Amino acid sequence: MTADPLVLSAELDRATARLLDTVRTLDGNGLTAPSRCAGWTRGHVVTHLARNADAYRNLLSWARTGVKTPAYTSREAREEGIAAGAARPHDEQLADLTTACDLLRESIDTMPAQGWSAQVEWGTTGPAPAARVVWSRICEVELHHVDLDAGYGPANWPESFTLRVLHDPATPHAATLVSDDGTTLLSASDDAPVVTGPVHLLAAWLTGRGDGTGLTGDLPSLEAWK
């Protein structure tokens, strides 16, 4: 599965459009309701998605200019920014998220070809090429869209996204994954259990957005994905 940022760019646009459509419906007290993220309201999730767009824009700036620009100045600053923005009115949150997404799109569009291969720091995971920004942003948008708990679930994920999730380096290789039509999607060690089911349910389970309901096999415990 390709991770080419130019190939994935349109997929990011579609995921972002779906997210913004959902956030538009969360007026009134919609953003104060709990999300699927422990301790976070929907407002926390929306604010995180806006600041995450800013963070990835920082990484693209680093790759473009060579000037070290971390995604976040610190973990504490990241958490403080989310907490500070979570209770803002709906219109303010929607405008902030829309602007942050538009500015990230502009950064992607103006990225020189050679910039995508530049190495940037990804927090605790170490350096990686800037080309990974687009796929990582798609993951943030799709996973946290589900976390809003506002009617968008793993069944709404495009199949292209679910298949890429299964092959993402962050995906635990704790089981051999088989689709419900018998296709082996991901092979693990010979002694690993075999887990079978629809692709979107496999992806939901692997990313912590599903408890394994609808899958068959001996499901192992998984570490947190994202």
Is the pLDDT at 225 greater than 80? The verdict is no
The DSSP letter of residue 216 is B
Residue 79 has a CB neighbour count (10 Å cut-off) of 12
Residue 216 one-letter amino acid:
T
Residue 124 has a pLDDT of 64
Is the pLDDT at 3 greater than 90? The verdict is no
Residues contacting 117, CB < 8 A, separation 6+? 129, 130, 131
Is the pLDDT at 183 greater than 70? The verdict is yes
Is the pLDDT at 221 greater than 90? The verdict is no
- How high is the mean pLDDT of the chain? 93
- Please, what are the domains in the chain? 5-152 (1.20.120.450), 162-226 (3.30.1050.20)
How far, in Å, CA of 226 to CA of 222, rounded?
12
Q: What is the pLDDT of residues 37-74, one digit of tens each?
A: 999 999 999 999 999 999 999 999 999 999 999 999 99
- For residue 142, CA distances in Å to 49, 68, 74, 165, 219 come to 10, 28, 24, 11, 23
Cα 158 from chain centroid? 13
- H/E stretch holding 194 reads strand 194-197
Place of tokens 């635990």: 172
- H/E stretch holding 220 reads none
Residue 145 in contact with residue 137, Cβ under 8 Å?
no
Residues contacting 22, CB < 8 A, separation 6+? 145, 148, 150, 151, 152
pLDDT band at 160 (very low <50, low <70, confident <90, very high): very high
Is the pLDDT at 137 greater than 70? The verdict is yes
Mean pLDDT along residues 176-204: 93
SS3 readout for 15-76: HHHHHHHHHHCCCCCHHHCECCCCCCEHHHHHHHHHHHHHHHHHHHHHHHHCCCCCCCCCHH
